[in-house]
Structure 1
């Protein structure tokens, strides 16, 4: 396995198909916004490839020594083959010295995707992430924050999110 991060534009069709299938509509930002933020230097939007084969996507943005992994997905057909862990390891190397955080759905027993949430949280814990002591709400969806490389504060989350989404969408963000 040889993980490389290449511009998402190089695999635009594959990236778009995976983005649309991997994330619920209510969790998706407009696809063109992702490329716009990359062109503006606000985000790093990558296709993840293994020896030239498309395996997934990542979109990261940050400020100072904090980076958020806004979007991360591995192709359905390749899940369970170690790609997720390999990509996270490669990202930790790529962003060495930085704290990396993610937003994940909290574990709620009555959630329709309860088992998926449990599995996702265990995956990130296995990869060194720990849960932060606050939740956030983005456009009506509640998330737990998990980080690796050090703790992240709500203020840091807020600054990064405001920078990425802009003032209008920022107002949908609330601390619980």
Structure 2
């Protein structure tokens, strides 16, 4: 299975939007139209993930110097547990092998209502070699933990990305401590 990446456009926008809305709780979402308007060919990359011309997922990457930040990665509900998530991560790792690759997951705490899901998600990324940076950021409802591969990422680097995104959605993230 090989995934083809197709930039978001008029033809695939509704399908990608559905995957996005089905995959993330509202408190973790940027406004979809803002994501589309921010996406470009240099530092904000918004793609549909295709297997044999079938839309199976989406991702949104932010390139910042020598770091790739995975803002969103989701596989359509209809295609989950079929290996597409692993293929998508491997594609990112191959394409950006010379970069530090960073992402945030919901903080894994036993008192979380979806504790097992959070634990599985963290284990999924650890399988690829991602390590926790112990950077915690909250949007007031959800606390996120930073994970990275190929080096360390400082809290300030993550903060700069969020501050830039913050301009487009007030109170989206704030510091925890």
TM norm structure 2 = 0.91
SS of equivalent to 1:29: coil
1:128 positional shift: 1.4
1:37 positional shift: 0.6
Identify if the C-alpha distance between structure 1 residues 165 and 124 changes in structure 2 by more than 3 Å, giving closer, same or farther. same
Report the equivalent of 2:145.
Answer: 144
Q: Distance in 2 between matches of 1:97 and 1:103?
A: 20
Report the equivalent of 2:113.
Answer: 112
Deviations 1:118-154 (A, max 9, x none): 1101100011111102211134421011111111110
Q: Distance in 2 between matches of 1:3 and 1:25?
A: 27
Q: Distance in 2 between matches of 1:170 and 1:93?
A: 34
SS of equivalent to 1:14: helix
1:39 positional shift: 4.2
Report the equivalent of 1:101.
Answer: 102
Report the equivalent of 2:135.
Answer: 134
Q: Distance in 1 between matches of 2:86 and 2:58?
A: 13
User: In 2, are the aligned partners of 1:162 and 1:170 still within 8 Å (CA)?
Assistant: no
Report the equivalent of 1:5.
Answer: 5
1:41 positional shift: 5.0
Unaligned residue ranges in structure 1 (runs of 5+): none
Identify if the C-alpha distance between structure 1 residues 152 and 171 changes in structure 2 by more than 3 Å, giving closer, same or farther. same
Identify if the C-alpha distance between structure 1 residues 164 and 94 changes in structure 2 by more than 3 Å, giving closer, same or farther. farther
Alignment size in residue pairs = 176
User: In 1, are the aligned partners of 2:136 and 2:145 still within 8 Å (CA)?
Assistant: yes
Report the equivalent of 1:62.
Answer: 63
User: In 1, are the aligned partners of 2:30 and 2:169 still within 8 Å (CA)?
Assistant: no
> Whose helix proportion is higher, 1 or 2?
1
Runs of at least 4 residues of structure 1 off by over 6 A? none
Q: Distance in 1 between matches of 2:23 and 2:168?
A: 26
Identify if the C-alpha distance between structure 1 residues 41 and 173 changes in structure 2 by more than 3 Å, giving closer, same or farther. farther
RMSD: 1.9
Q: Which runs of structure 2 are paired with 1:28-43 in the superposition (5 Å)? A: 28-39=29-40, 41-43=42-44
User: In 2, are the aligned partners of 1:46 and 1:58 still within 8 Å (CA)?
Assistant: yes
Report the equivalent of 1:23.
Answer: 24
Unaligned residue ranges in structure 2 (runs of 5+): none
Report the equivalent of 1:84.
Answer: 85
